């Protein structure tokens, strides 16, 4: 059966892996998921990621980041905002801040998948994909 929201599936897989303190999580790869993982690495939420090539479906392996020996994750929360049934768009003046700048809003713009800080910097709005803190 076809998946209706692959980004929500990715966020849920990461959220579940963080809750049980896994070192890594495998997700079916796609272009937007690769860009999202790249942004998460850039912002310091994950340690690393790699794409595992396969004949049928490539896999995106995300290595989770924990801050201390007590396995406290860098990711405290993930929230999907724009969904297939209800798209959420924001203008350049309305790009939201997450936890007064401690988190990141992820936007899909004509410049690609970017963070809220980058969107404000270059002055663009777009579809509000998710929030990470």
End-to-end CA distance of the chain: 31
Instruction: Give the CATH class of 78-132.
Output: alpha beta
Same fold, 6-64 and 78-132: no
Three-state DSSP class for residue 46 = strand
CA–CA distance, 19 with 9 (Å, rounded to integer): 15
CA–CA distance, 133 with 32 (Å, rounded to integer): 20
- What are the start-end ranges of the H helices in the chain? 6-19, 31-42, 116-122
- Cβ-in-10-Å burial (0-12, 13-18, 19+) of 35 comes to middle
Q: Is 33 left (phi over 0), alpha (psi -120 to 50) or beta?
A: alpha
Supply the CATH classification number for the domain 6-64.
Answer: 3.30.1370.30
pLDDT at 36: 96
Question: What are the extents of the domains in the chain?
Answer: 6-64, 78-132
pLDDT at 128: 96
pLDDT at 84: 92
pLDDT in tens, the chain (133 residues): 467 899 999 999 999 999 999 999 999 999 999 999 999 999 999 999 999 999 999 999 999 999 877 778 888 999 999 999 999 999 999 999 999 888 999 999 999 999 999 999 999 999 999 999 9
């Amino acid at each position: 059966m076809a998946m209706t929201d692959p980004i929500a599936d990715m966020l849920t897989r990461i959220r579940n892996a963080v809750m049980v303190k896994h070192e890594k999580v495998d997700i079916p790869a796609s272009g937007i998921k690769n860009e999202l993982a790249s942004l998460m690495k850039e912002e310091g939420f994950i340690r690393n990621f790699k794409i595992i090539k396969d004949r049928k479906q490539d896999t995106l392996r995300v290595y989770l980041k924990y801050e201390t020996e007590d396995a406290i994750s860098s990711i405290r929360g993930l929230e999907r905002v724009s969904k297939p049934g209800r798209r959420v768009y924001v203008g350049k003046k309305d790009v939201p801040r997450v936890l007064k700048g401690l988190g990141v809003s992820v936007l899909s713009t004509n410049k690609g998948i970017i963070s809220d800080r980058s969107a404000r910097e270059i002055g663009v709005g777009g579809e509000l994909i998710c929030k990470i803190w």
